[in-house]
């Protein structure tokens, strides 16, 4: 006898309507109806409650075939009491299962800090296009040209994989620059809660230590106030290598980029930036010089990149 038939027979033997049983389990009558029709199955904690309501062992409900027919005779006054061992063992096993699932979920959350769903990314759309590899690489190059500017790759701190700093001073300029256009009247001031939120969202860091940063940021215990300091122009990164791989079932992006600047220390205007982006694969930009080569590993979430590492591969000077 399968679970749906057992539930239907046990409920009727107990003289309970579907609505009355639903009230005892804190579920709707429709849920009970679907269980008895075999359309859905109750979760394990509901099965444990059902075993208590019907006074039967949990393993009786979980087995496909009834091996203990005497448990069905609930209408007799002198029905046998269930063996405590038969009820305790399934409860213990269920508890261990829940503990194991909780531990695994905590490990995934702490290691990755991801949403339940990973955000879709234009990178995957580019790779799925029916284009040649050079054409795809050109599109990726233009994508990362904009992406690195939008996410201020130039201010992302350097750290080895899963070894990001827990000191706030490593993230202050990045946290400020990433939101530079939205400060309004509070320009030059960041709350501690804002810094905590930004770092927790984009780095695998908990328990951030809040400190003042000499000659840059004063910290009064609640907020950071910028000392006279200029924020750099948005960076110019040229894509050099691109790859992706799966880690713990999650797609990781691994990009190697050349960090470039003006060869003549000129400040580029918007027209210059657009021209450079359009020529990034043609080596036609004599006004650029490569300063260093950097590698970024990250996971894409709904909140933007979650950085796994950022390292310098080659410093040109």
pLDDT tens-digit profile of 274-317? 888 877 766 556 678 889 999 999 999 888 999 999 999 987 65
Q: Is 54 exposed, middle or buried (0-12, 13-18, 19+ CB in 10 A)?
A: buried
Question: Quick one: 140 and 219 in the same domain?
Answer: no
31-65 pLDDT, tens digit each:
888 888 887 778 777 887 888 899 888 777 776 54
User: Measuring CA to CA, which residue among 151, 164, 174 is closest to residue 257?
Assistant: 151
**More reliable by pLDDT, 94 or 72:** 94
**More reliable by pLDDT, 81 or 219:** 219
Largest CA distance in the chain: 97
DSSP 188-231: TEEEHHHHHHHHHHHBS--SPBP--BTTTEEE-SSEEEE-S-PP
Question: Quick one: 44 and 79 in the same domain?
Answer: yes
* Predicted confidence (pLDDT) at residue 83 exceeds the cutoff of 90: no
Give the per-residue pLDDT at 80. Answer: 41
pTM: 0.60
Q: Which helix (DSSP H) or strand (DSSP E) does residue 254 occupy?
A: strand 250-262
Question: Quick one: 147 and 244 in the same domain?
Answer: yes
Question: Quick one: 194 and 265 in the same domain?
Answer: no
Domain that holds residue 180: 153-233
Minimum mean pLDDT among 65-79, 234-248, 258-272: which range? 65-79
In this prediction, residue 182 has a pLDDT band, given cuts at 50, 70 and 90, of low
Cβ contact 174:205 at 8 Å? no
Total number of domains constituting the chain: 3
Question: Quick one: 293 and 210 in the same domain?
Answer: no
Let me know if residue 167 belongs to a domain: yes
Question: Quick one: 304 and 168 in the same domain?
Answer: no
From 233, 267, 298, the end of a domain falls on 233
Let me know if residue 115 belongs to a domain: no
- Whichever domain contains 96, its CATH number is 1.10.260.40
Let me know if residue 184 belongs to a domain: yes
**Which phi and psi angles does 3 have, rounded to 5°?**
-60, -40
Give the per-residue pLDDT at 263. Answer: 76
Question: Quick one: 21 and 105 in the same domain?
Answer: yes
Question: Quick one: 163 and 42 in the same domain?
Answer: no
Question: Quick one: 254 and 307 in the same domain?
Answer: yes
From 110, 135, 169, the end of a domain falls on 110
Cβ contact 90:44 at 8 Å? no
Question: Quick one: 49 and 142 in the same domain?
Answer: no
Residue with tokens 């005497």: 70
Mean pLDDT over each residue of the chain, to the nearest integer? 79
Let me know if residue 178 belongs to a domain: yes
Question: Quick one: 129 and 157 in the same domain?
Answer: no
Question: Quick one: 229 and 242 in the same domain?
Answer: no
Let me know if residue 316 belongs to a domain: yes
From 212, 233, 254, the end of a domain falls on 233
Give the per-residue pLDDT at 73. Answer: 38
């Amino acid at each position: 006898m399968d679970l749906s038939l057992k539930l239907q027979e046990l409920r009727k033997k107990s003289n309970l309507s579907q609505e009355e049983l639903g009230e005892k389990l804190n579920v709707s009558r429709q849920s009970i109806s679907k269980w008895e029709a075999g359309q859905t199955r109750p979760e394990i904690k509901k099965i444990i409650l059902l075993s208590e309501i019907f006074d039967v062992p949990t393993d009786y409900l979980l087995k496909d075939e009834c091996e203990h027919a005497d448990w069905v005779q609930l209408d007799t006054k002198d029905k046998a009491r269930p063996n405590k061992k038969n009820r305790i063992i399934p409860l213990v096993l269920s508890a261990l299962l829940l503990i194991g699932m909780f531990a695994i979920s905590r490990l995934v959350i702490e290691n990755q800090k991801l949403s339940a769903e990973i955000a879709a990314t234009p990178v995957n759309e580019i790779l799925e296009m029916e284009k040649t590899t050079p054409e795809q690489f050109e599109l990726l190059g233009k994508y990362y040209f904009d992406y690195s500017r939008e996410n201020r790759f130039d201010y992302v701190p350097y750290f080895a994989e899963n070894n990001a700093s827990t000191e706030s001073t490593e993230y202050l300029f990045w946290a400020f620059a990433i939101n530079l256009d939205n400060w309004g009247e509070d320009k030059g001031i960041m709350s501690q809660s804002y810094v905590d939120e930004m770092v927790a969202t984009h780095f695998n860091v908990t328990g951030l230590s809040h400190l003042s940063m000499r000659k840059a940021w004063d910290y009064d215990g609640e907020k950071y106030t910028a000392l006279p300091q200029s924020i750099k122009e948005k960076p110019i990164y040229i894509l050099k290598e691109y790859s992706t791989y799966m880690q713990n079932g999650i797609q990781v992006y691994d990009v190697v980029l050349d960090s470039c600047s003006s060869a003549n220390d000129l400040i580029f205007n918007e027209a210059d930036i657009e021209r450079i982006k359009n020529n990034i694969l043609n080596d036609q930009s004599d006004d650029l010089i490569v300063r260093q080569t950097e590698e970024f590993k990250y996971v894409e979430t709904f909140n933007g990149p979650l950085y796994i590492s950022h390292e310098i591969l080659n410093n040109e000077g």
